[in-house]
């Protein structure tokens, strides 16, 4: 994973943690670092260079500053080597990659389909998004379950029939 992707991901997570329901902007990040880590800071242009890939490496001072702000290990803020084998990655790093991929998809669909964008971001922010996708696979493989769930969870969704309520059969009263 590239350093630029990691920084964008951390801005997305930090924005969510702060209740913004979106990634923190670079300028918001610069202001938050200045406010929370007294006497230390980073410029927006430097941050932009890092995220664009123009500056693929951080100075040690900047790495420690960002690690302290985002509460991650400084070793996380380095670019993975090109020959890094995916099989050796921990589940947590794989989850981060999946979440990054989901955030990227949300950014691509955002302007055209805000509902899909929101759904992808909710999934990316969920603690175990991988498990959610595997659950979705099971739901899709179960005949008619998607329609039944949609009818129950989103009854106002166009094109989805409302669930039919069935009455229990009437019992005949016992003669006395």
Rounded Cα distance between 7 and 27, Å, is 14
pLDDT (tens digit per residue) in 24-77: 999 999 999 998 888 788 899 999 998 888 887 888 888 889 988 888 888 888
In the DSSP assignment, the letter for residue 112 is: T
Interatomic CA distance for residues 135 and 161, integer angstroms: 23
**Token pair for 165:** 């309520």
Cβ atoms 113, 105 nearer than 8 A: no
Minimum mean pLDDT among 11-25, 58-72, 91-105, 119-133: which range? 91-105
pTM of the model: 0.48
Could you report the per-residue pLDDT of 96-106, keeping only the tens digit for each?
Answer: 788 888 888 88
């Amino acid at each position: 994973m590239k350093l630029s992707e990691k920084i964008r991901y951390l801005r997305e997570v930090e924005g969510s943690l702060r209740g913004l329901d979106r990634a923190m902007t670079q300028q918001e990040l610069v202001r938050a670092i200045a406010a929370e880590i007294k006497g230390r800071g980073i410029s927006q242009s430097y941050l932009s260079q890092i995220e664009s890939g123009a500056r693929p490496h951080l100075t040690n001072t900047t790495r420690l500053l960002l690690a302290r702000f985002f509460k991650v290990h400084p070793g996380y803020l380095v670019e993975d080597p090109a020959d890094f084998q995916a099989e050796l990655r921990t589940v947590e790093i794989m989850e981060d990659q999946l979440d990054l991929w989901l955030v990227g998809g949300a950014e691509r669909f955002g302007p055209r389909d805000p509902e899909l964008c929101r759904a992808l971001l909710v999934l990316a922010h969920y603690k175990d998004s991988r498990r959610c996708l595997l659950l979705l696979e099971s739901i899709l493989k179960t005949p008619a379950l998607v329609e039944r769930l949609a009818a129950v969870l989103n009854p106002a969704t166009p094109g989805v029939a409302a669930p039919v309520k069935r009455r229990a059969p009437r019992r005949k009263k016992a003669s006395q």
